[in-house]
């Protein structure tokens, strides 16, 4: 797709083949491979590990996944110390990965529509979920957790990345219980840092289990708070946000009709359908150690649109403010579509919106924070749950319109002013991770780390930016080709 036409000239500064060339199998597992900067220099103060997770295997036995989110989880660790960097990567040894590795073919259906070979008959009534551990990776105590929201976490060794196995977190979880892939790290609103997370049991009425774990010190991993609340409707909650007193969920206006899934014609997630024109709901659950502990959850009407990810939330008097990435509709890839051929102009773009939830009146007002297509947004770790001035996010190169993510942006949430580092035309970015400088006091003092798919090299780069100026500090050309990924986290040394 490099044909120059008037239409192509008017359209964005990327080549679809470059973007699509990232969809491939990761063929090597590296251990502590030393890296050198191709440009710039790694800051000596940058000390810790960037962990990334995402699909690393998209084909098996000639059968390609229907959607990249069905690919097996592969974790990458980039360790920084004393101005140097090393890279390791490992597939998560899930039950499904091990079995398919042995069989050399696809043995499981994927949630996003990947069928087992053999047509609907071979898929009908096979309702096993393949826990692919591909969505996020976080450190909790002495282990890494590779997360996939419909089932249990996998525990990995933080250094070797070796899979220890499924974990029920010292008996906190029941076997197979859903455990979100979007924990939030509370920087210490209740004394010490906590990992706040949730699990969903979805049905005509759905139950949300909210859990808080100690995140630091010898107590890390200890369950500190645990509550369950039921709500009407089939819950689809990929992410949430926290404030000191609330856990904030946005329940999209969707219906789930599992029949095509049961009959082997669609993946489970392809059976989610947004209710046209309907509004979702905010579900606010009081945190157990907060000012509203013991009170019933609050339910407020959300604006139209579909939300996967939130940037942050905070309290302002009687109001809760939550910044989220809204899509006009649920961006699903239908059974007859090829994800590599998606027409970006025809799928809805993600746009950052601020919702102000007035808890006294129940009124919700929404304002657009930026007109630029974005995804994967975060605030400085110390500002999680508090008002923050800045957010960092992946954005399209064009200032308007839907395109693949090619640039990293720092947005001033008050003034709308932005600074952008771009990987266009041949680079494609993933989720940026903001890493504060040790001892930083200014919110934007630190670095932004991002994996970039380099279409010119057909491999991945790691870029280090100055978080304040968004100037390039260093670029490392990795000896690894990592498909467009999902989430990751930073663990300071």
For β-strands 279-286 and 272-274, DSSP reports them as unpaired
Report residue 34 CA to chain centroid gap.
27
Q: Which is nearer to ligand 3ON, 245 or 324 (CB)?
A: 324
Q: Which is nearer to ligand 3ON, 308 or 490 (CB)?
A: 308
What burial class does residue 288 get, using C-beta atoms within 10 Å of its C-beta: 0-12 exposed, 13-18 middle, 19+ buried? middle
225: β partners: 212
Is the separation of the CB atoms in 211 and 225 below 8 Å? yes
The least CB distance from residue 247 to ligand 3ON, in Å, is 17
Length of the chain: 493
Exposed / middle / buried, residue 398 (Cβ in 10 Å: 0-12, 13-18, 19+) = middle
- Closest separation between CB of residue 34 and ligand 3ON, Å? 30
- Minimum distance from CB of 226 to ligand 3ON (Å)? 19
Nearer to ligand 3ON, 106 or 181 (CB): 181
Minimal distance in Å, beta carbon 87 to ligand 3ON?
A: 22
C-beta closer to ligand 3ON: residue 26 or 46:
26
Residue 401: CB atoms within 10 Å: 15
The minimum distance between CB 198 and ligand 3ON, in angstroms, equals 11
Q: Is 436 left (phi over 0), alpha (psi -120 to 50) or beta?
A: beta
Q: Closest approach of Cβ 129 to ligand 3ON, in Å?
A: 6
Long-range contacts made by residues 407-411, C-beta under 8 angstroms, separation at least 24? Answer: 408/432, 408/448, 408/450, 408/463, 408/465, 408/470, 409/370, 409/372, 409/374, 409/470, 410/444, 410/448, 410/467, 410/468, 410/470, 411/352, 411/369, 411/370
Give me the residue label for tokens 């260093």.
Answer: 474
Q: What is the Rg, in whole angstroms, of the alpha carbon atoms belonging to the chain? A: 21
Q: Which helix (H) or strand (E) holds 104?
A: none
Q: How far apart are CA 256 and CA 236, in angstroms?
A: 9
In whole angstroms, how close is the CB of 32 to ligand 3ON at the nearest point? Answer: 28
Is 13 or 44 the residue whose CB approaches ligand 3ON more closely? 13
Nearer to ligand 3ON, 246 or 308 (CB): 308
Q: Compute the least distance from the CB of residue 205 to ligand 3ON, in Å.
A: 13
| Identity of the residue, 135 or 251, whose beta carbon is nearer to ligand 3ON in the bound complex | 135
Comparison of 55 and 221: residue with beta carbon closer to ligand 3ON: 55
Give me the residues that bind ligand 3ON (CB under 6 A), please: 69, 111, 135, 148-150, 178, 200, 202, 238, 268-269, 308-309, 375, 405, 484, 486
């Amino acid at each position: 797709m490099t044909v120059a036409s008037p239409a192509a000239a008017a359209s964005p500064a990327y080549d679809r083949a470059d973007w699509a060339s990232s969809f491939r199998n990761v063929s090597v597992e590296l251990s502590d491979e030393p890296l050198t900067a191709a440009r710039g220099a790694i800051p000596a103060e940058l000390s810790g590990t960037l962990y990334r997770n995402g699909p690393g295997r998209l084909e098996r036995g000639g059968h390609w996944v229907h959607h990249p989110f069905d690919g097996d989880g592969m974790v990458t660790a980039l360790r920084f110390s004393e101005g140097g960097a090393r890279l390791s990567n490992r597939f998560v040894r899930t039950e499904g990965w091990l079995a398919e590795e042995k069989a050399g073919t696809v043995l499981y259906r994927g949630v996003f529509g990947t069928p087992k070979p053999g047509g609907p008959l071979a898929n009908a009534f096979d309702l096993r979920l393949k826990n692919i551990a591909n969505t996020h990776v976080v450190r909790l105590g002495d282990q890494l957790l590779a997360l996939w929201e419909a089932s249990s976490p996998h525990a990995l060794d933080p250094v070797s990345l070796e899979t220890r196995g499924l974990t029920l977190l010292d008996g906190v979880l029941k076997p197979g219980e859903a455990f979100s892939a979007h924990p939030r790290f509370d920087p210490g609103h209740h004394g010490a840092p906590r990992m706040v997370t949730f699990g969903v049991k979805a049905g005509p009425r759905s139950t949300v289990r909210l859990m808080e774990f100690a995140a630091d010190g010898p107590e890390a991993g200890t369950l500190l708070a645990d509550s369950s609340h039921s709500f009407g409707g089939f819950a689809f909650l990929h992410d949430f946000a926290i404030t000191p007193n609330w856990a904030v969920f946005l329940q999209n206006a969707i219906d789930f009709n599992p029949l095509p899934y049961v009959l082997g014609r669609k993946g489970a997630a392809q059976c989610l359908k947004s209710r046209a024109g309907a509004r979702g709901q905010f579900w606010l659950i009081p945190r157990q150690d907060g000012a509203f502990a013991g009170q019933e959850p609050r339910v407020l009407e959300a604006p139209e649109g579909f939300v996967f990810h939130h940037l942050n939330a905070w309290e302002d008097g009687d109001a809760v403010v939550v910044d989220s990435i809204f899509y006009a509709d649920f961006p699903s890839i239908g059974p007859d579509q090829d994800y590599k051929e998606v027409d970006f102009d025809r799928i809805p773009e993600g746009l950052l919106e601020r919702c102000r939830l007035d808890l006294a009146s129940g009124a919700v007002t929404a304002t657009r924070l930026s007109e630029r297509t974005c995804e994967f947004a975060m605030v400085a770790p110390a500002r999680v749950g508090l008002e923050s001035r800045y957010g960092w996010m992946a954005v399209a190169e064009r200032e308007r319109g839907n395109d693949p993510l090619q640039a990293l942006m720092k947005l001033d949430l008050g003034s709308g002013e932005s600074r952008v580092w771009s990987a266009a035309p041949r680079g494609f970015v993933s989720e940026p991770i903001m890493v504060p400088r040790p001892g930083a006091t200014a919110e934007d003092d630190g670095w932004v780390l991002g994996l970039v798919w380099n279409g010119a090299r057909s491999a991945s780069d790691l870029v280090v930016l100055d978080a304040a100026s968004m100037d390039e500090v260093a670029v490392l050309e990795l000896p690894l080709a990592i498909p467009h990924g999902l989430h990751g986290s930073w663990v300071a040394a």
